Amino acid sequence: MIDSYAEIRLVHIAFAVASGLLFALRGLAVLGRRGALANHGVVRYLSYSIDTVLLTAALMLLAMLRLSAASTSWLSLKLALLVVYILLGSFALRRAPTQRAKLICFVVALVTYGLIIGIARAHNPYGWFLLLRRT
């Protein structure tokens, strides 16, 4: 299975980008008062499918590398932020009672997504901050 590490990593990265882009498009649609389109069944199921592939690839990578979130600080933080991102996304797309609240949740969700990407790239809880310091 380790022979396919590079391919699975590439799938994970591609689907992480696809997931973020789809969320951004859906959020912009909601903010543009096109919530019915953003939350249409086909779009939601596409999102679920992308996220399922993303999660499956992540679990495969964890198994290959024998990583544990409990013993890897950057991975623990990445997973905790993922939960925050999912909750914020849920409020941004559907649950927030006002457009203003949806906007705030959407922006904070995008920032959280960016932090997750930075942590993943650096393999360090400091994420982008560590990468910026190195340049």
pLDDT digits (tens, 9 = 90+) for 83-115: 999 999 999 999 999 999 999 999 999 999 999
pLDDT at 2: 80
* Buried b or exposed e, range 67-92, using 16+ CB within 10 angstroms: eeeeebebbebbeebeeebeebbebb
Instruction: Report whether 85 contacts 78 (CB < 8 A).
Output: no
pLDDT at 70: 84
pLDDT at 93: 98
pLDDT at 135: 58
Give the residues of the chain that fall short of pLDDT 50: none
